[in-house]
Chain A
Amino acid sequence: MKIRHSEHREQVALQMTPMIDIVFQLMVFFVFTFKITLPEGDFNVRMPAESGVAAVPSETPLLKVRLRADEHRNLAGLELGDVQITGTNPFFELQSKIRGMADDSAGPGSVDQEVEIESDYNLKYRYVMNAMTAITGYIDPATGERHKLIEKVRFAPLSARRE
């Protein structure tokens, strides 16, 4: 028996038009909602309003970091407690000192130290962010791992008004 080959293959024309319509609609939507956003991150600070005297006196004394501004609103001086921090990269020095002080050998988050940042009114905010970075942690240059130092940071109450 001979099977007849149906050479006569019919061209099934797919209806492309509706699909392309929808695809274009979708593409226009996504193109218009496309927004380039740089990744942002937060420093979380818990600063309840102080009700007179501190309720629970902490065992560890409060560390004070003082930032001074020059006339161009740049950083003029950095102090940790009574110690003046100098050098070309004061924030790195600050971080090294805090690393020496905050013994995080018991594991991350084991440090129960509190830092108060006191800054001149006119200082550029970026220096405060640098100080926050130096205080709260560091990234191990070898492994790229993130280590926490002192998490509890607060601002000193504003005393010096704008001059």
Chain B
Amino acid sequence: MRFASRQAPGAEPDMTPMIDIVFQMLAFFMFTINLSTNETDQRVTLPASELAKPPDAPYDHPLTIHLTEKGEYIYAGAALANLAELRSALLREKQIIERYAVEKLEDVTIVIRADEDAQTGLVQEIIQLCQELQFERFALRGKQSEVRTVSQ
């Protein structure tokens, strides 16, 4: 027995609602895209502060150092166990800046992203180390908070 092959003549699905939704989503993702090259790291929970404000202009030459709760340093994506390793990494960076970059060392901003439970002494050691290497500008990073951290 033969069935007549049923050819639906031009039975196209209605694309309009789908395209509507897809355009909505596209617009949403386009507007929420964050192109800033903020160096973030999930291993660090920043301390909150209502006064921490994003810089008015991006730093000319930021160097980001992360400090985890356990006292581990993260610099340029690599986890460093101790201060000596951080020192050699920063020294290399310094030499590169001095040799090739137009910026002076004073214009380099050291961004310190330290965990809220990290030891303060370790943060100070990072600062001291950077000072020894003639870096001057520091930015202590905190997460912006709507809740007042200093209030009654």
Chain A residues packing against B (C-beta within 8 Å):
16, 20, 23-24, 26-27, 30-31, 33-35, 37-50, 67, 73, 89, 91-92, 95, 119-130, 132-134, 136-139, 141, 146, 155, 157-158, 160, 162
Contact = CB atoms under 8 A, between A and B. Distances in A.
For the residues of A in contact with B, the DSSP-based class is mixed
B22 A42 contact: no
Contact of B139 (A45, A48, A128): A45
A138 B114 CA distance: 22
Contacts of A31: 29
B38 A139 contact: no
Interface stretch (B1-9, B72-80, B90-98, B117-125): B117-125
Interface string B128-152: 1001101011111111100011111
B53 to A, nearest CB: 4
Contacts, number: 181
Given A119-B124, A130-B149, A26 B26 contact: yes
Interface of B: 15, 19, 22-23, 25-26, 29-30, 32-34, 38, 40, 46-55, 67, 106, 109, 111, 114-121, 123-125, 127-128, 131-132, 134, 136-144, 148-152
Given A42-B54, A129-B142, A162-B121, A124 B22 contact: no
26 contacts: A20-B15, A20-B19, A39-B143, A40-B46, A41-B49, A41-B51, A43-B49, A45-B140, A47-B127, A49-B134, A73-B117, A73-B119, A120-B121, A124-B116, A125-B117, A125-B118, A129-B48, A129-B116, A129-B149, A130-B150, A133-B51, A139-B50, A141-B151, A158-B121, A158-B128, A162-B121
Given A43-B142, A46-B136, A124-B117, A23 B151 contact: no
A138 B17 CA distance: 50
A132 B111 CA distance: 16
Contacts of B151: 89, 92, 141
B128 A137 contact: no
